[in-house]
Every structure is written in structure tokens, then in C-alpha cells.
Structure 1
Amino acid sequence: MPAQRLSVVVTRRLPEVVETRMKELFDVELRDPDTKMTREELAAAMRRADVLVPCVTDQIDASLLAQAGEKLKLIANYGAGIDHIDIASARQRGVLVSNTPGVVTEDTADMTIALMLAVTRRIPEGLALMQSGKWEGWAPTAMMGGRIGGKRLGILGMGRIGQAVARRARAFGMQIHYHNRKRVRPEIEEELEATYWESLDQMVSRMDIVSVNCPHTPSTFHLLNARRLKLMKPSAVIVNTSRGEVIDENALTRGLRAGEIAGAGLDVFEHGHEINPRLRELQNVVLLPHMGSATVEGRVEMGEKVIINIKTFADGHRPPDQVVPGVM
């Protein structure tokens, strides 16, 4: 007699190939249409599922976990970031949490470089000019931006993604600087020709471009606050493809409007999709809809990791990407 299959609830639409494989392996409920679950829907899903597969749009806090039944045993997050899940509360209830680390590294690093180029070379402004039909031809002083070769790049967070950004930036001839909770190994510093700054204040005041690549934790919330943003050179650019909460968005908007910061490229925002309207109006800002990891290849790999985590758990073993409180 075949073993009973795990009941799995998926909170958003996933790539078709991932959903099909899940259907083959588990007793899965797929989300249709692709809308965000309400808190009531999430609570109900957690009561009837052995495994919940949420993503970054699902806020799973202590009060929501308190509504989960005894059935829920694993939250297999679709994505690497897990700041939307209360890991400690889940652990107290005997619920394991897994994520999908490493999958988004290359895609997010690509987007980081793309945003640097978009801001410094004024690509959206050029695109808007062409689409308006008002372009009157080439001129020697028109649409002049800056080059990134030879510029100092300050990377805030030298994990997988930060290092991938550094490798790409080196190919563009940039000088690599970084601030991290811990200094990286000497061989990595040597490979990247990276300069470590223990003081974030000292680093940001000297950089031409600052790239945010650290996770959102209580210690990184508003790490780039109004005081630190004022330390940046008026010619400097800031890029964020990590988490919006790391930057004080209102202070950043004020700095950009006042000309205290030259430009910004943002793929993430402090309040999710609710973006400061004054930020939208600025020409020296490039805004993207959280698409840093949005490649077909990356999203399929992410789904494959979720499936491996669930399948390993179903076989009675610890999920390979289990998240442990205090190790994040």
C-alpha cells in the first residue's frame, strides 16, 4: 500500500513545470488565480496543510502561526529571504522552515550592475525621450552620464550576492570596497582586490556607488539612515536589490530631491509596493518592481529547491535548506 502523500498548499502561482512536478509528488493545492492570500486564507491553509509553500508577499508572524493547527509541520519558503516569517515562533510550535539559498545570486548580481548602468548612464531618461518622439538627433552635450570604470564601489553585505556583484564590477574596472558583519576570508579579498571597512560611516562617505546587498534583520533596519545618507558624496549613487527596509526611504527621497545624492536605482522598497510618491517623480531615480531574481531559470531552480526540501522532509530527513534561528 503506498504511503500517504503530504498535503501541500502553495500560496501563489509558480512556474508551470514546478507546479506539475509538485502535483506528481504531493497532494498539492495550487493557487488560482494568482492573487495574494488574505490573512484568513493563510490561517486556513496552515490548518489543513502538512506543508505550506509561501513567498515574500506572505507575512507569517507569531499571531498567524498561533492560528495554525497541529497538522502543519513544514513551511517550505519559495525564496531565499525569510524576514517575512517568524522563525522563532515557528520553531516553538514544532514547525520547520526551509528556504532556497543561492538560487538568486547570479540573477540579482546582474540586476545590480544593470541598475548601476541605468542610473549613471541615464538610460530611462533616454528611453522616455525616444518614446516621447521629441528627440532631435545627436548632440555633443546631450544626455551625458558618467562611466562606472574606475569608480569606487562600496558593497554593504559581502555574502554570496555581494561577492557576485564584486566579480562583475571588477570586470567593469571598478575598485571594490565593502562593509560586512564579519570580514571575509583573505583569499576572497585577494581575488576581488577588495578593501574592508570596519566603519560603515567611513566607507559610505568615500564611495562613488553604494550597493545594498545585505538581508533585512533587526540590526540592518534603516542601516542607511538619514545621518549616514548625508555622509554620501553629492556625486554618489545608491543601488538596492536586497531589502527596502535597509534604507530610510523618506530620508533617501529628501536627499535625492535636495541634490545631496546624485541618483538611486531601487528594485525593493521599504513598504513593499507602496512607494513614496515623491520618489516616483524624480528623474535621477530608476525604480523596478522587485524583479532582481525574475528569470525563468532562477524561478524554476527555486521551485526545484522547494521540492527537494519537501521531499527530503517527507522521507523523514532534515530539509537540506532548513533555516535555524540565530544562524541567519
Structure 2
Amino acid sequence: MSTPRLWITRRLSDATLERAARDYDVVINHGDLPGTAAELIAASADFDAIIPCHSEHFSADVVAQFSDRLKIVANHSVGVDHCDLPSLKARGIAVTNTPDVLSDATAELAMLLMLGAARHAVAGDRIVRTGQWDSWSPAFMVGKQVTGARLGIIGMGRVGRAFAAKARGFDMEIHYYNRSELSAEDAKGAVYHDSIESLLGVADFLSLHCPATPETTGLMNAARFAMLPRGAVVVNTARGALIDEAALLSALESGHLAAAGLDCFQVEPGGNPAFAAHDTIFMLPHIGSATRTTRDAMGFRALDNLDAFFAGKTPGDLL
């Protein structure tokens, strides 16, 4: 068999690109801009495999125009909401993702966002950075304590469990909602709620770790924000579609929510310009998995899936 031809749509880690170049006839998008629909369609005729990121969108319309040459889409991501899986399957194109390897990095970032939102990190940094710190009093910048607080987690998959493990280091009381109750071994004492509404009522802090699906779009809306205890803090390192952003702003402006920590937004890149005026929103540009260790691991996981596929084996992360 000739060496499979591979298109890598974004600038991945150096170690990933070196391994890919060793094992495949690879073309790399060193310009590092998202692949357009036209480029994806053209690539389907020129390549046997694609390693895309979440920035490339395999919609039903795009997949319908694919050539028969493309055999596998090995995503450099855990989430696959950018892929129309039924359309790809109907064309006989295998799809894989990269679970497990980014759980700790994303959980670390969720912890950063939770702490930063709770302790006025945005306002504090601005005051010091701009030379406005000219006084102090016991009432100055009093925040919300994390230690010993009740943490609600929606989605106790790999990232949710990794975040819970880190939160236990702050002696937090862990509550969670999941599609099914975890085993005692996996729950590690976390309290299961069989409805989101039940969970929200006890969540001093709420962290979202579920995928974006038609069922979870707008999961946190005005009615559900109102169910949280007054002064709660909301963290989202999953997908921007989970939050009704207008409802979040309203809950913050009314004082019902104390703060929010966000790594993802409904519009990416760019985010929500209306958030910029609010020091109570601690924001980062969707960098939950952005550590060198994790980027290498994600790239290698995608290549592992390709290696298995072209060796005639079932990829470990086949969806």
C-alpha cells in the first residue's frame, strides 16, 4: 500500500508534525487559518485522511460534496459537534477524537476560572496594572470563598471527574448531575442529583462539563440561573452553546450571580463584546487544553487513530 496522504488543517505541536511527516505523505497548513468549506471539499479528493480541529466544520452540505477518496477524519479534539456524524458515516468516512488526554489541562483551567471569578481577578489586575491601587480597607474587594463551598458539576465525564478531584483539594462538597449515576468508585463521595434543577439549588459554584448537543444548547437559561443560590459563580470550559449569554448577563447585572468564569462562547473566535464591560466575568480565549504536554498528547492520539485505521485495525477512539 502506498503511503497515505494526510492533510493537517492547523499548526499542531512540533512533535506531532514531526511524527506525521515521518509516517505519512503530509501537507500542513502552516498559515494556521481555519479550513474553509471549499478547502475541505477539495481536500476530500486529494487526501486519504484529514486531521482537523474544532475550527473546521464538516456539515451535511459539505460532506455531501466530498470525493470518495477521503477515508478518515481524525479530529484533534474531544468534542465533535463540528462534525455531522450521520453524514460522514453514510459516506463511509471514519471519525475519531482525542478523549482522556486533555482532561487534566481543562480541569486546571476550570479551577483558574473559578478562583479568578470568585476573587475579583479581573478588577484586581486592572486596578494594580493601571496604577489605581491607592487605598485599602477591610471592605476592599471582598470575594467569595471557594474552600468548603458546594460545587455543582453538570457532566461527570473525564473532565468533570478531573475537576472534581482538584476541587476536593479545596475541601469542596461535590454535587453532580450526569445522564447516569456514577459508581461509588468513580463518584468518590460526590452527591448525585437526578435532575439539573435539583443540582442547581445547592450549587454555590457551578461548572459545566457536558458536550454541546441539540438537547444541551441553551442549557443554562434565565429560569435555571434563577434556581442557583444568590451569589453563585458559574464556570464554563465546555462549549459556549451551553449558556444563554443574554440571560447570563442579566443574572450578573441583577446581582443574582456574583461572577462567571468563561473559556468558551457562542461566537468563536471573538467572544461576546458585551461581556467586556463587566469585571465580574473572567474570560479566556478557549485555551482549556493549551499546555505543551496536552497538545503533544492530543496530536499523538490523533495519529494513533490514523495508524490503527491504515493498519486495518479499529481505531481506539472510533465514534
TM-score interval for Structure 1 and Structure 2 normalised by the shorter chain:
over 0.9
Match of 1:196 in 2: 192
**Equivalences for residues 87-166 of structure 1 within 5 A:** 87-136=85-134, 138-166=136-164
| Superposed displacement of residue 147, structure 1 | 1.3
Cα distance in 1 for partners of 2:202, 2:98 equals: 35
Match of 1:326 in 2: none
Q: What is the CA deviation profile of residues 244-282 of structure 1, one whole-angstrom value per residue up to 9, with x for unaligned ones?
A: 111111211121122221110000112222433222211
Cα distance in 1 for partners of 2:239, 2:90 equals: 26
| Superposed displacement of residue 167, structure 1 | 1.0
Percent identity over the alignment? 38
Corresponding residue to 1:241 among 237, 243, 249: 237
Match of 2:227 in 1: 231
**Equivalences for residues 239-318 of structure 1 within 5 A:** 239-318=235-314
Match of 1:173 in 2: 171
Q: What is the CA deviation profile of residues 70-94 of structure 1, one whole-angstrom value per residue up to 9, with x for unaligned ones?
A: 1000000011111110111101000
Match of 1:67 in 2: 65
Comparing 132-141 and 62-71, the one that deviates more = 132-141
| Superposed displacement of residue 120, structure 1 | 0.7
Aligned letter for 1:162? G
**Residues 122, 280 of structure 2: 8 Å contact kept:** no
**Residues 112, 241 of structure 1: 8 Å contact kept:** yes
**Residues 264, 271 of structure 2: 8 Å contact kept:** no
Mapped pair 1:85 → 2:88: no
Cα distance in 1 for partners of 2:122, 2:271 equals: 18
Cα distance in 2 for partners of 1:274, 1:253 equals: 17
Q: What is the CA deviation profile of residues 183-234 of structure 1, one whole-angstrom value per residue up to 9, with x for unaligned ones?
A: 1112223x2x211111211211221000001111122111112211121222
Name the Cα RMSD after superposition: 1.2
**Equivalences for residues 13-24 of structure 1 within 5 A:** 13-24=11-22
Comparing 131-140 and 70-79, the one that deviates more = 131-140
Cα distance in 1 for partners of 2:227, 2:204 equals: 12
Aligned letter for 1:94? G
Q: What is the CA deviation profile of residues 103-151 of structure 1, one whole-angstrom value per residue up to 9, with x for unaligned ones?
A: 1100011111111100111122111111101212543322221210111
Cα distance in 2 for partners of 1:316, 1:199 equals: 43
Cα distance in 2 for partners of 1:77, 1:60 equals: 11
**Residues 202, 229 of structure 2: 8 Å contact kept:** yes
Structure 2 segments unaligned to the other structure (5+ residues) = none
Structure 1 segments, 4+ long, off by >6 Å, are none
Q: Specify the SS of the correspondent of 1:242.
A: coil
Cα distance in 2 for partners of 1:134, 1:107 equals: 34
Cα distance in 1 for partners of 2:221, 2:122 equals: 27
Equivalent residue pairs, number: 319
Cα distance in 2 for partners of 1:306, 1:115 equals: 28
Structure 1 segments unaligned to the other structure (5+ residues) = 324-328
Cα distance in 2 for partners of 1:256, 1:141 equals: 21
**Residues 250, 276 of structure 1: 8 Å contact kept:** no
Aligned letter for 1:12? R
Cα distance in 1 for partners of 2:316, 2:148 equals: 41
